[in-house]
Amino acid sequence: MYSAYIFDFDYTLVNSEEGIAMCFDMLFADEGYAPVPRPEIYATIGMPMYEAMAKLTGEKNSERILELIHLYKIRYSDFYMVSNTHLYEDAKSTLQFLTEKGASCYIVSSKTRSRIQETIVKENLTAFIHGIIGVEDVQTPKPSPEGIKLLCRRYDIVPDACLYIGDSTIDAQTAANSGIDFAAVTTGVTPATAFANFPHIKIMQHLQELTTLL
């Protein structure tokens, strides 16, 4: 058993696609951009926000991209994201099980820590999440190892003792770059076959399969 389980957030612990797509839809309409099909929006979930915004709008100007990210937050995400983010059915029970077995659970995500914390409070998960590293805590987002390395330093975690769990190849790359074990979960838009070329100890359909690793 690992002593520390580090989770991605979107599409791993929660399904936030409705909130994310809603915010992008409103931003694009208000700022004069063409509508983007939902599958294209969903495919950017887990990317750094700058990369996602550039991809969906086609913008090349960095100042404009940063402006759009700011508008996304203050006009839409601050109001609609948390209420349209839903915990996966087995997420809480899995976190509780791991905690009761003596493990610590953490989150490292390209989402903002403050937004993650809002959802953690809403879903009554504070007893099961021992630390969060969000995009505002690092200089370089995933797949950079910075977030996981920061978490390990902050909470005195030995890399060999932790497992990173995520739904995307970005997460798989992050774990590999960090030198820690990885388990994939296919609750997002990335198929199981996409993880074949990345180091992994398990490819899961549901988070509750973590309980079988003990």
- Classify residue 23 as left (phi > 0), alpha (psi -120 to 50) or beta: alpha
Largest CA distance in the chain: 52
- Give the torsion sign (CA, 196, 20, 50, 13): negative
Amino acid type, 7? F
- Whether the Cβ atoms of residue 184 and residue 166 lie closer than 8 Å to each other: yes
**Looking at residue 130, what is its pLDDT?**
98
**Fold (CATH) for 17-83:** DNA polymerase; domain 1 (1.10.150)
- Residue partners of 51: CB distance under 8 A and separation at least 6: 44
- Between CA 15 and CA 163 the distance in angstroms is 21
DSSP conformational letter for 35: P
Residue written as token pair 């983010």: 85
- Residue partners of 43: CB distance under 8 A and separation at least 6: 189
Tokens standing for 33?
């951009």
pLDDT tens digits for the chain (214 residues)? 899 999 999 999 999 999 999 999 999 999 999 999 999 999 999 999 999 999 999 999 999 999 999 999 999 999 999 999 999 999 999 999 999 999 999 999 999 999 999 999 999 999 999 999 999 999 999 999 999 999 999 999 999 999 999 999 999 999 999 999 999 999 999 999 999 999 999 999 999 999 998 7
- Whether the Cβ atoms of residue 91 and residue 97 lie closer than 8 Å to each other: no
DSSP string, 2-27: -SEEEE--BTTTEE-HHHHHHHHHHH
- The superfamily in CATH containing domain 4-15+86-213 is HAD superfamily/HAD-like (3.40.50.1000)
Q: Domain boundaries in the chain?
A: 4-15+86-213, 17-83
The four Cα atoms 49, 170, 46, 34 give a dihedral, to 10 degrees, of 60
Beta-sheet pairing, 162-166 with 4-7: parallel
Residue 14, strand partner residues = 10, 87
Burial state string for 26-52 with b = 16 or more CB within 10 A and e = fewer than 16: bbbeeeeeeebeeeebbbbbbbbbbeb
Q: Kindly provide the residue ranges of all beta strands, DSSP E only, lying in 24-89, ordered along the sequence.
A: 86-87
**Looking at residue 213, what is its pLDDT?**
85
